[in-house]
Structure 1
């Protein structure tokens, strides 16, 4: 039997943490060794996620200190962090330091916002706080897996869920239209995008049968999308982003609209996306319009396009917890360890959700 790579999850009791535990349970190359939680340390995993009982009947959440002790038993580690923004960087830095002292090779994929910007000043300007570990920022690459074909860094800062959906829609067009100055993006997300802690915006009577925008042209994912376009080679494109809260629990639907300098035919627009994602097994351009229900619980992104004269529309749907977070993190970790990119991500999703 091939030895599996030990894996640890920081912030393992959140929605993204739970999805990582689910995906790791079926992964042929990784094996969970530590599910770290400061609030649930010592409790069984199935006490928080009953659906995971068959996969983890006896395993318990552990402390960060226990995870550091565990490093003495291994020689490599796949480290996933789903800890909150502002807290993750210091936790990751602490574990990387402990691993270095114990000669443990580590690859990290961080799903918080803490490593999404290569410059700590950019992070501070968006999140209005000092970065928790600026000294290790140069060890992280940022971007959606499909849009970073070559990298050298040992660690990854995964884009946010809105940014993932938006970048998958925007980057091919921005590369094909280098003179394009701006795009307009509307996004609708499910309530799990707000995290596990109860909030007024996730309260059932407020969210059910309701749809509303929030932070129009002022959301913190807006500069993140702009930075992601630059990282992918798309230049300086102004992003005008309006997020919405939708009446469903998981999934994101993004609609991008742009006015081009010259008319573009539908066939040309289709060719741009078909060519860019030709070898991307998780991204598919559809005829017609994509629907959230067809990607929920999967690592797939479905894209639809439309063109009329100088106006183009690109629609993108993903599962915010999978492709937008846990699945994207697994996909990146597969790449960091030179495993098949689809490992652990090809299980069939429910026919209807």
Structure 2
């Protein structure tokens, strides 16, 4: 199947190219960004002598001539405009932005007015472990954010066993690539090197995404306190979930039962770390308890499991291919 990558300039766009050039079923037929008029080797020097393709000025009509599916690695608001056009032209879409991850009400409350109210109601949330059957029948996949991916995979197995009257705390730490390619005061090397800081505590826009999906999957409204931090790492994400159990349970058994058939979730008997998942689609999980105090920790690569490799897994399911077709288990770079 011919596929397009729109938004190839950023980190997730590059990771999509790196995965798809080795994919046995998908063929990259179109690459685009907001400027065009260059070769992909000039856009990403790491692709020199690897792939030789022009980078186009993004245009939905051109995509429809050469591709059946499009990956959108675009900022929110920009993505919905392209998705709306592509869907009208019969192109399947895997969107890596936030534009279709939330209900219309929640999206407009936390982001901006939505420009594609018709399609947002039909978007399927692309967390494969929980929405696989819906993904198979979809035309539009809302690829989850990196923070919600790591948080939900850690939290969801325990929802039925925790005191939902008490607040749940999620302490999340991300590598600086999660902030995107454009530099800022907080992501400048001189500021982030040898430093760590929290940002938007209790106000981050991924908090309502986590709450909404818990309600959809488990039917419960939880008080979730989400605090993200920025780490001086290029890539990687470590999430720690703190909650209170109702009863004394075997927490490892709960986690094992939830993910025993999931190829890219690994259960660890020691606390997880980001280096072990860097460059892979794996989510590593660790759980322990102290009486009724529950601690669950997850580690993912924010650019891959939190974005691009998860997007390709979703595309595989959407197109009827083997779920993990073309998804490497061993990182090329440690």
TM, length-normalised to structure 1: 0.90
Matches within 5 A, 1:126-137: 126-127=110-111, 129-137=112-120
Q: 1:310 aligns with which of 262, 270, 292?
A: 292
**Residue aligned with 1:312, SS:** strand
- What are the Cα deviations for residues 20-58 of structure 1, in whole angstroms up to 9, with x where unaligned? 01111111110111111013x0211111211122331x2
Q: 2:131 aligns with which of 142, 148, 155?
A: 148
Rounded to whole Å, the distance in 2 between the matches of 1:33 and 1:19 is 16
Rounded to whole Å, the distance in 2 between the matches of 1:19 and 1:70 is 20
Aligned-residue offset at 1:323: 0.1
Q: Aligned residue for 1:103?
A: none
Q: Aligned residue for 1:30?
A: 26
Q: Aligned residue for 1:257?
A: 242
User: Gaps (5+ residues) in structure 2?
Assistant: none
Answer yes or no: is the 8 Å Cα contact 1:211–1:246 preserved in 2.
yes
Matches within 5 A, 1:271-350: 271-350=253-332
The number of aligned residues is 332
Q: 1:44 aligns with which of 24, 39, 43?
A: 39
**Residue aligned with 1:232, SS:** helix
Is 1:92 aligned to 2:77, yes or no? no
Tell me how large the CA RMSD over aligned residues is: 1.6
Rounded to whole Å, the distance in 2 between the matches of 1:145 and 1:29 is 19
Answer yes or no: is the 8 Å Cα contact 2:161–2:247 preserved in 1.
no
Aligned-residue offset at 1:154: 2.0
Q: Aligned residue for 2:74?
A: 83
Answer yes or no: is the 8 Å Cα contact 1:175–1:234 preserved in 2.
no
- What are the Cα deviations for residues 250-280 of structure 1, in whole angstroms up to 9, with x where unaligned? 010000010122333xxx1001111111111
Aligned-residue offset at 1:202: 1.1
Q: Aligned residue for 2:62?
A: 69
Aligned-residue offset at 1:180: 5.8
Answer yes or no: is the 8 Å Cα contact 2:166–2:244 preserved in 1.
no
**Residue aligned with 1:329, SS:** helix
Rounded to whole Å, the distance in 2 between the matches of 1:33 and 1:249 is 29
Rounded to whole Å, the distance in 1 between the matches of 2:63 and 2:125 is 28
TM, length-normalised to structure 2: 0.95
Q: Aligned residue for 2:197?
A: 212
Is 1:60 aligned to 2:54, yes or no? yes
Answer yes or no: is the 8 Å Cα contact 1:87–1:132 preserved in 2.
no
Rounded to whole Å, the distance in 1 between the matches of 2:230 and 2:271 is 20
Aligned-residue offset at 1:313: 0.2
Answer yes or no: is the 8 Å Cα contact 1:301–1:323 preserved in 2.
yes
Q: 1:139 aligns with which of 99, 118, 122?
A: 122
Q: 2:221 aligns with which of 221, 236, 240?
A: 236
Aligned-residue offset at 1:234: 5.3
**Residue aligned with 2:159, SS:** helix
**Residue aligned with 2:211, SS:** helix
User: Gaps (5+ residues) in structure 1?
Assistant: 101-105
**Residue aligned with 1:235, SS:** coil
Rounded to whole Å, the distance in 2 between the matches of 1:70 and 1:195 is 25
Aligned-residue offset at 1:86: 1.3
Answer yes or no: is the 8 Å Cα contact 1:189–1:253 preserved in 2.
yes
Answer yes or no: is the 8 Å Cα contact 1:109–1:155 preserved in 2.
yes
